[in-house]
Structure 1
Amino acid sequence: MDKRQHELVLPNKDLPFKLFLFEGGDGNYIRERHWHRSVEIFAVTEGEIRFFRGGERTILKAGELLLINSNEVHSVMAPTPNTTIVLQIPLGTFEGYFTEERYIRFAPTKGADDEALMTVLKKLYRTYQAGEEGYLLKVLSDYYRLLYILVTEYREKAVDKEEVNRNKKLNRLAKITDYLRDHYQQELSLEKVAQIFGYSPTYLSHMFRESIDISYKMYLQEIRLEYALGDLEKGELTLSEIADKHGFASGKSFAKVFKRRYGILPSEYRKK
């Protein structure tokens, strides 16, 4: 099933960006199709990970990095262990460099040096992890060096009107999907959410179908499943309690949606 989710990216508490090791480092990991408004860089130092975006598959090996643009729908798979540094840069960081409509896109251009970008990112991460006196100043120094490289060597200046329009639609939709994630435990009918955002139910339904190729109802169920799965794995709540906590109409409804998504019942999943 082709599901796409908007991911809300929050910076580290002491930094204006988010820096961490990829959560799929142990392998046997799949992150379904999603998007976020931040610009994201994956830098593999050990092993490999695989990306799917725009119908293309990319295998990223040790020593290689990949840029994910704002609102670029992608999925990630890591079948084997790896060590990957991830940097997520808030879109607002590039204020003043937008081409138009808060749109900016990065891609390797002639003369762009991935190795230089990789070196700065690894250095930035090592400094942050060491946490020695004055480390934040050094981290920010490397961070701004990285931003300079992106803006001067990777920023695309030619504007694709179709891409800009798609970006605008995903920006609008992201506000709605953020709301769904914040209130997913509540009753959230299509009509209610459409009214909150000033759309007709028909138009809101069309937004989901056209922009991310999934129905409103299915998208909301995927959010609820994502959170319910965490409680299912903890094993502290009954299936009925999990269903009630995460907005499902009943335990039976939860089981039906879960089996359609994962191929087995929640009770079977918990036993495994």
Structure 2
Amino acid sequence: MEFQHELIIPNEGVPFKLFIFEGMNGNYAREKHWHTSVEIFAVQEGHLSLFLNDQEYPLEAGELIIINSNEVHSVQAPHKNRTIVLQIPLKQFQDYFTAQRFIRFKSAARMSGHQDEKIPDNRKLAFFVEELYNVYHQEGDGYEFRTMALYYNILFLMIRDYRESEAARQEIHASRRLDALSKITSYMREHYREDLKLSEMAALFGYSEAYLSRMFKKYAKVNFKSYLQDIRMAYAYRELMNTDHTISQIALDNGFASNRSFAKEFQKRYQILPSAVEREKRSKK
């Protein structure tokens, strides 16, 4: 199995991640990957194709598809498109988990040929996803309340119209392969400011250190330390871009041992020092 784990960090101040698909200019392919979050692709213009378990689901303007938690998928966008992507943490649905800690959603794109099943009308969900994007980015008066109202409307529709009451045994089994790592990475995202060690994490979740190390390399394609640094850097970068906190404060707030270690890691990843980013921000004010 050759696929990578995608680290998802919510947008600042909200419990979800919302953005325009990075393959909007076409000539784009995203290889097989997976993540814990539930994901919605809503195509506004053009078209692209999602691949789930190697089955192709072409999407045209006005169509959407729901990618379930731990579902291995890839994307191909050969032509220009405008697609809104909404990523929702799995824990948002925890009150609706089955006894197997499992929840699955359907969408019209995945149900062609299922004449015996009620197919949900995607237009309403697509409208709310687009409206959520517009309101969130326009930042008008009271947009915070409207943003969360639209978000909860989306969650409501997903539970009412898209949740599957039963799932095949093989689907649950396939999800279980990645669920163990999902629990661990979720814990790491909640405790990344702490001094997390591989040995301690292994003991906490009932694995040997060697087994947990192999699990990261197999399903995340990086080692434990690199994954932890990915989380810390993602949050630190967001804080650097969206606050006036000092670099030293940002480093310590996000689990780095020192300002120097933060700056070294930042430069390695972004080819620029955080102090240069800070100066550029000040110059634009």
Q: TM-score, normalised by structure 2?
A: 0.64
Whether the aligned pair in 1 keeps the contact of 2:48 and 2:78 (CA below 8 Å) is: yes
Provide the C-alpha distance between the structure 2 equivalents of 1:105 and 1:218, rounded to a whole number of angstroms.
22
Provide the C-alpha distance between the structure 2 equivalents of 1:28 and 1:203, rounded to a whole number of angstroms.
37
Within-5 A mapping of 1:243-254: none
Cα shift at 1:147: 0.9
1:85 aligned partner: 84
Which one of the candidate residues 134, 141, 152 is aligned to 1:144? Answer: 152
Do structure 1's residue 5 and structure 2's residue 13 form an aligned pair? no
Provide the C-alpha distance between the structure 1 equivalents of 2:198 and 2:77, rounded to a whole number of angstroms.
35
Instruction: Give per-residue Cα distances to partners, 1:167-208, cap 9 Å, x unaligned.
Output: 22202134667899xxxxxxxxxxx96996323857975x68
Do structure 1's residue 155 and structure 2's residue 157 form an aligned pair? no
1:72 aligned partner: 71
Greater shift after overlay, 194-203 or 109-118?
194-203
1:120 aligned partner: 128
Cα shift at 1:20: 0.6
Provide the C-alpha distance between the structure 2 equivalents of 1:218 and 1:122, rounded to a whole number of angstroms.
31
1:38 aligned partner: 37
1:161–1:49 distance in 2 versus 1, CA, 3 Å: same
Q: Please tell me the residue identity of whatever aligns with 2:98.
A: T
Cα shift at 1:148: 0.9
Provide the C-alpha distance between the structure 2 equivalents of 1:217 and 1:135, rounded to a whole number of angstroms.
38
Q: What secondary structure sits across from 2:221 in the alignment?
A: helix
1:25 aligned partner: 24
1:82–1:72 distance in 2 versus 1, CA, 3 Å: same
2:273 aligned partner: none
1:218–1:170 distance in 2 versus 1, CA, 3 Å: closer
Cα shift at 1:100: 2.4
Q: What secondary structure sits across from 1:86 in the alignment?
A: strand
Whether the aligned pair in 2 keeps the contact of 1:8 and 1:178 (CA below 8 Å) is: no
Whether the aligned pair in 2 keeps the contact of 1:46 and 1:82 (CA below 8 Å) is: yes
1:193–1:62 distance in 2 versus 1, CA, 3 Å: same
Which one of the candidate residues 197, 209, 221 is aligned to 1:219? Answer: 221
Q: What secondary structure sits across from 1:31 in the alignment?
A: strand
Cα shift at 1:95: 1.7
Whether the aligned pair in 2 keeps the contact of 1:99 and 1:159 (CA below 8 Å) is: no
Greater shift after overlay, 23-32 or 105-114?
105-114
1:15–1:218 distance in 2 versus 1, CA, 3 Å: closer
Provide the C-alpha distance between the structure 1 equivalents of 2:186 and 2:180, rounded to a whole number of angstroms.
10
1:264 aligned partner: none
Whether the aligned pair in 2 keeps the contact of 1:7 and 1:36 (CA below 8 Å) is: yes
1:83–1:169 distance in 2 versus 1, CA, 3 Å: same
Which one of the candidate residues 172, 181, 186 is aligned to 1:173? Answer: 181
Q: TM-score, normalised by structure 1?
A: 0.67
Whether the aligned pair in 1 keeps the contact of 2:70 and 2:179 (CA below 8 Å) is: yes
Instruction: Figure out how many residues of one structure are paired with residues of the other and give that number.
Output: 210
- Report percent identity of matched pairs: 44
2:53 aligned partner: 54
2:208 aligned partner: 199
1:158–1:219 distance in 2 versus 1, CA, 3 Å: same
Instruction: Give per-residue Cα distances to partners, 1:215-239, cap 9 Å, x unaligned.
Output: 7499349xx9xx9xxxxxxxxxxxx
Q: Please tell me the residue identity of whatever aligns with 1:157.
A: S
Whether the aligned pair in 2 keeps the contact of 1:194 and 1:204 (CA below 8 Å) is: no
Provide the C-alpha distance between the structure 2 equivalents of 1:217 and 1:45, rounded to a whole number of angstroms.
32
